[in-house]
Amino acid sequence: MEATGTDEVEKIKSKFMSAWHNMKYSWVLKTKTYFSRNSPVFLLGKCYHFKTEGEYRALHSFHFDKISTEISGNVEEFRKDFISRIWLTYREEFPQIRGSALTTDCGWGCTLRTGQMLLAQGLMLHFLGRAWVWPEALDMDSSDSESWTSNTVRKLTASFEASLTAERDPKVLPRPRRGPTRRSWDVTEMRNEVYHRKIISWFGDSPLAAFGLHQLIEYGKKSGKMAGDWYGPAVVAHILR
Protein backbone atom coordinates (compact mmCIF):
# COMPACT_ATOMS: atom_id res chain seq x y z
CA MET A 1 0.00 0.00 0.00
CA GLU A 2 2.80 2.36 0.87
CA ALA A 3 4.50 1.78 -2.47
CA THR A 4 1.24 2.38 -4.32
CA GLY A 5 0.70 5.61 -2.42
CA THR A 6 4.21 6.76 -3.29
CA ASP A 7 3.62 5.99 -6.98
CA GLU A 8 0.43 8.04 -6.97
CA VAL A 9 2.24 10.98 -5.38
CA GLU A 10 4.99 10.77 -8.02
CA LYS A 11 2.39 10.69 -10.81
CA ILE A 12 0.63 13.75 -9.41
CA LYS A 13 3.96 15.51 -8.99
CA SER A 14 4.93 14.66 -12.59
CA LYS A 15 1.61 15.96 -13.95
CA PHE A 16 1.99 19.17 -11.93
CA MET A 17 5.53 19.72 -13.24
CA SER A 18 4.41 19.03 -16.82
CA ALA A 19 1.60 21.58 -16.50
CA TRP A 20 4.03 24.12 -15.02
CA HIS A 21 6.59 23.64 -17.80
CA ASN A 22 3.86 23.81 -20.47
CA MET A 23 2.81 27.19 -19.11
CA LYS A 24 6.34 28.46 -18.46
CA TYR A 25 7.94 27.50 -21.79
CA SER A 26 5.04 28.01 -24.19
CA TRP A 27 5.75 31.75 -24.38
CA VAL A 28 7.83 32.76 -27.38
CA LEU A 29 9.79 36.00 -27.26
CA LYS A 30 11.87 37.19 -30.20
CA THR A 31 15.15 38.73 -29.14
CA LYS A 32 18.02 40.10 -31.18
CA THR A 33 21.54 38.79 -30.62
CA TYR A 34 24.44 41.22 -30.44
CA PHE A 35 28.12 40.31 -30.82
CA SER A 36 31.09 42.40 -29.78
CA ARG A 37 33.86 43.06 -32.30
CA ASN A 38 36.29 43.04 -29.39
CA SER A 39 35.60 39.48 -28.21
CA PRO A 40 35.97 36.18 -30.05
CA VAL A 41 32.92 33.97 -30.59
CA PHE A 42 33.23 30.20 -30.23
CA LEU A 43 30.91 27.94 -32.21
CA LEU A 44 31.24 24.21 -31.59
CA GLY A 45 35.03 24.30 -31.31
CA LYS A 46 35.68 26.98 -33.92
CA CYS A 47 36.78 30.47 -32.92
CA TYR A 48 35.61 33.50 -34.91
CA HIS A 49 36.72 37.11 -34.49
CA PHE A 50 34.76 39.90 -36.14
CA LYS A 51 37.61 42.37 -36.44
CA THR A 52 39.23 42.86 -39.81
CA GLU A 53 42.56 41.14 -40.29
CA GLY A 54 44.37 44.50 -40.10
CA GLU A 55 42.74 45.38 -36.78
CA TYR A 56 43.52 41.95 -35.42
CA ARG A 57 47.19 42.09 -36.44
CA ALA A 58 47.55 45.51 -34.82
CA LEU A 59 46.21 44.20 -31.51
CA HIS A 60 48.23 40.98 -31.55
CA SER A 61 51.34 41.95 -33.50
CA PHE A 62 53.67 40.12 -31.13
CA HIS A 63 52.01 36.73 -31.19
CA PHE A 64 49.70 36.79 -34.21
CA ASP A 65 51.44 33.91 -35.97
CA LYS A 66 51.11 31.77 -32.87
CA ILE A 67 47.33 32.09 -32.55
CA SER A 68 46.27 32.63 -36.16
CA THR A 69 45.39 28.93 -36.52
CA GLU A 70 42.70 29.37 -33.83
CA ILE A 71 40.89 32.11 -35.74
CA SER A 72 38.51 30.96 -38.47
CA GLY A 73 37.17 33.45 -40.95
CA ASN A 74 35.04 36.51 -40.40
CA VAL A 75 31.38 37.51 -40.04
CA GLU A 76 30.32 35.84 -43.29
CA GLU A 77 32.15 32.61 -42.45
CA PHE A 78 30.51 32.59 -39.02
CA ARG A 79 27.06 33.08 -40.58
CA LYS A 80 27.66 30.18 -42.98
CA ASP A 81 28.77 27.94 -40.12
CA PHE A 82 25.87 28.97 -37.86
CA ILE A 83 23.20 28.55 -40.55
CA SER A 84 24.62 25.13 -41.47
CA ARG A 85 23.76 23.69 -38.05
CA ILE A 86 20.50 21.71 -37.88
CA TRP A 87 17.95 23.65 -35.80
CA LEU A 88 15.00 21.75 -34.34
CA THR A 89 12.40 23.53 -32.26
CA TYR A 90 8.69 23.53 -31.37
CA ARG A 91 6.40 22.61 -34.26
CA GLU A 92 2.64 22.42 -34.75
CA GLU A 93 0.18 20.74 -37.10
CA PHE A 94 2.32 17.65 -37.61
CA PRO A 95 0.66 14.16 -37.77
CA GLN A 96 -1.16 13.29 -34.56
CA ILE A 97 0.98 11.53 -31.98
CA ARG A 98 -0.25 8.00 -31.40
CA GLY A 99 -2.19 7.58 -28.17
CA SER A 100 -2.91 11.29 -27.84
CA ALA A 101 -4.71 14.14 -29.55
CA LEU A 102 -1.54 16.23 -29.78
CA THR A 103 -0.31 17.67 -33.08
CA THR A 104 2.21 20.05 -31.47
CA ASP A 105 5.04 19.86 -28.93
CA CYS A 106 4.86 23.54 -27.94
CA GLY A 107 5.59 23.92 -24.24
CA TRP A 108 6.70 20.38 -23.49
CA GLY A 109 9.09 19.16 -26.21
CA CYS A 110 12.05 21.47 -25.57
CA THR A 111 14.41 18.84 -24.14
CA LEU A 112 13.46 16.34 -26.83
CA ARG A 113 14.32 18.96 -29.46
CA THR A 114 17.62 19.70 -27.73
CA GLY A 115 18.45 15.99 -27.75
CA GLN A 116 17.59 15.80 -31.43
CA MET A 117 19.94 18.69 -32.21
CA LEU A 118 22.79 17.10 -30.24
CA LEU A 119 22.36 13.84 -32.13
CA ALA A 120 22.00 15.64 -35.48
CA GLN A 121 25.24 17.53 -34.88
CA GLY A 122 27.02 14.28 -34.01
CA LEU A 123 25.78 12.67 -37.21
CA MET A 124 26.88 15.68 -39.26
CA LEU A 125 30.37 15.47 -37.76
CA HIS A 126 30.50 11.75 -38.51
CA PHE A 127 29.29 11.92 -42.11
CA LEU A 128 30.32 15.42 -43.23
CA GLY A 129 33.09 16.61 -40.89
CA ARG A 130 33.38 19.86 -38.93
CA ALA A 131 34.66 21.92 -41.87
CA TRP A 132 31.52 21.30 -43.96
CA VAL A 133 29.07 24.17 -44.48
CA TRP A 134 25.77 24.12 -46.35
CA PRO A 135 26.33 25.54 -49.88
CA GLU A 136 22.92 27.27 -49.77
CA ALA A 137 23.54 28.86 -46.35
CA LEU A 138 23.59 32.48 -47.52
CA ASP A 139 21.34 32.15 -50.58
CA MET A 140 18.10 33.08 -48.80
CA ASP A 141 17.90 36.72 -47.72
CA SER A 142 16.59 37.32 -44.19
CA SER A 143 14.07 39.78 -45.62
CA ASP A 144 12.67 37.01 -47.79
CA SER A 145 12.32 34.59 -44.89
CA GLU A 146 10.69 37.15 -42.64
CA SER A 147 8.02 37.86 -45.26
CA TRP A 148 6.91 34.24 -45.44
CA THR A 149 3.58 33.40 -43.82
CA SER A 150 3.40 30.55 -41.34
CA ASN A 151 1.11 28.71 -43.77
CA THR A 152 3.71 28.95 -46.53
CA VAL A 153 6.41 27.60 -44.23
CA ARG A 154 4.20 24.69 -43.14
CA LYS A 155 3.43 23.76 -46.75
CA LEU A 156 7.10 23.97 -47.75
CA THR A 157 8.19 21.88 -44.75
CA ALA A 158 5.47 19.27 -45.28
CA SER A 159 6.43 18.95 -48.95
CA PHE A 160 10.12 18.62 -48.08
CA GLU A 161 9.50 15.98 -45.39
CA ALA A 162 7.17 14.02 -47.68
CA SER A 163 9.86 13.88 -50.36
CA LEU A 164 12.37 12.61 -47.82
CA THR A 165 10.27 9.99 -46.01
CA ALA A 166 8.97 8.55 -49.27
CA GLU A 167 12.36 7.20 -50.30
CA ARG A 168 15.13 5.46 -48.40
CA ASP A 169 17.99 7.00 -50.38
CA PRO A 170 17.05 10.61 -51.19
CA LYS A 171 18.30 12.03 -54.45
CA VAL A 172 19.74 15.49 -54.87
CA LEU A 173 16.81 17.76 -55.66
CA PRO A 174 17.16 20.46 -58.35
CA ARG A 175 18.80 23.58 -56.96
CA PRO A 176 17.07 26.96 -57.35
CA ARG A 177 18.85 29.27 -59.76
CA ARG A 178 19.39 32.74 -58.36
CA GLY A 179 21.88 34.00 -60.90
CA PRO A 180 23.78 33.09 -64.07
CA THR A 181 27.15 32.70 -62.35
CA ARG A 182 26.38 29.62 -60.18
CA ARG A 183 28.98 26.92 -60.76
CA SER A 184 28.13 23.25 -61.12
CA TRP A 185 28.43 20.99 -58.11
CA ASP A 186 31.29 18.53 -58.08
CA VAL A 187 30.96 14.90 -57.00
CA THR A 188 31.93 15.61 -53.38
CA GLU A 189 29.36 18.38 -53.01
CA MET A 190 26.64 16.14 -54.43
CA ARG A 191 27.59 13.34 -52.06
CA ASN A 192 27.55 15.71 -49.09
CA GLU A 193 24.15 17.07 -50.14
CA VAL A 194 22.76 13.52 -50.15
CA TYR A 195 24.16 12.92 -46.65
CA HIS A 196 22.82 16.28 -45.42
CA ARG A 197 19.30 15.62 -46.71
CA LYS A 198 19.35 12.07 -45.36
CA ILE A 199 20.30 13.27 -41.87
CA ILE A 200 17.53 15.89 -41.90
CA SER A 201 15.01 13.25 -43.02
CA TRP A 202 15.81 11.18 -39.91
CA PHE A 203 14.52 14.02 -37.71
CA GLY A 204 11.30 14.85 -39.58
CA ASP A 205 8.09 15.26 -37.57
CA SER A 206 6.65 12.10 -39.06
CA PRO A 207 5.98 8.65 -37.57
CA LEU A 208 8.35 7.25 -40.23
CA ALA A 209 11.37 9.38 -39.24
CA ALA A 210 13.95 7.31 -37.34
CA PHE A 211 14.80 10.02 -34.79
CA GLY A 212 11.62 12.07 -35.16
CA LEU A 213 9.49 13.23 -32.24
CA HIS A 214 6.94 10.45 -32.80
CA GLN A 215 9.57 7.73 -32.47
CA LEU A 216 11.20 9.32 -29.43
CA ILE A 217 7.85 9.45 -27.63
CA GLU A 218 7.26 5.76 -28.39
CA TYR A 219 10.57 4.91 -26.72
CA GLY A 220 9.75 7.30 -23.89
CA LYS A 221 6.73 5.21 -22.93
CA LYS A 222 9.14 2.56 -21.64
CA SER A 223 10.35 5.17 -19.12
CA GLY A 224 6.82 6.09 -18.09
CA LYS A 225 6.65 9.25 -20.23
CA MET A 226 3.75 10.18 -22.47
CA ALA A 227 3.21 12.85 -25.11
CA GLY A 228 2.60 16.13 -23.31
CA ASP A 229 4.81 15.25 -20.31
CA TRP A 230 7.92 17.27 -19.65
CA TYR A 231 11.04 15.23 -20.48
CA GLY A 232 14.20 15.80 -18.45
CA PRO A 233 17.75 15.52 -19.84
CA ALA A 234 18.39 12.08 -18.31
CA VAL A 235 15.24 10.58 -19.84
CA VAL A 236 16.00 12.06 -23.26
CA ALA A 237 19.59 10.76 -23.14
CA HIS A 238 18.23 7.31 -22.26
CA ILE A 239 15.71 7.45 -25.13
CA LEU A 240 18.38 8.45 -27.65
CA ARG A 241 20.70 5.69 -26.47
What does the domain layout of the chain look like in residue ranges? 37-57+68-84, 87-136+187-240
Report the distance separating Cα 207 and Cα 218, nearest Å. Answer: 10
Q: How many CA atoms, within 13 angstroms, populate the side-chain half-sphere of residue 178?
A: 6
Q: Which of 191, 68, 49, 184 is nearest to 132 (CA)?
A: 191
Residue-wise pLDDT for 123-177, tens only, equals: 999 999 999 999 888 886 554 555 555 565 566 566 555 655 544 444 444 444 4
Residue-wise pLDDT for 82-116, tens only, equals: 999 999 999 989 999 999 999 999 989 999 999 99
| pTM, to two decimals | 0.68
Q: Which of 198, 203, 210, 76 is nearest to 126 (CA)?
A: 198
According to DSSP, residue 64 is labeled H
Nearest-5° Cα angle at 110, 120 to 130 = 25
- Compute and round to an integer the Cα radius of gyration of the chain: 22
Residue-wise pLDDT for 51-83, tens only, equals: 765 555 555 544 444 444 455 567 888 889 999
Q: Which amino acid is at 31?
A: T
Instruction: Evaluate the CA torsion angle 79, 84, 86, 91 in order and state its sign.
Output: positive
Q: Which residues does residue 37 pair with via DSSP β-bridges, in sequence order? A: none
Q: Measuring CA to CA, how many Å separate 96 from each of 21, 72, 108, 166, 217? A: 21, 44, 15, 18, 12
Provide the pLDDT for residue 169.
Answer: 47
Residue-wise pLDDT for 1-55, tens only, equals: 455 667 677 667 766 766 666 665 555 556 677 777 778 888 998 888 877 655 5
Report the distance separating Cα 35 and Cα 27, nearest Å. Answer: 25
128 and 134 Cβ atoms separated by less than 8 Å = no
Q: Which amino acid is at 115?
A: G
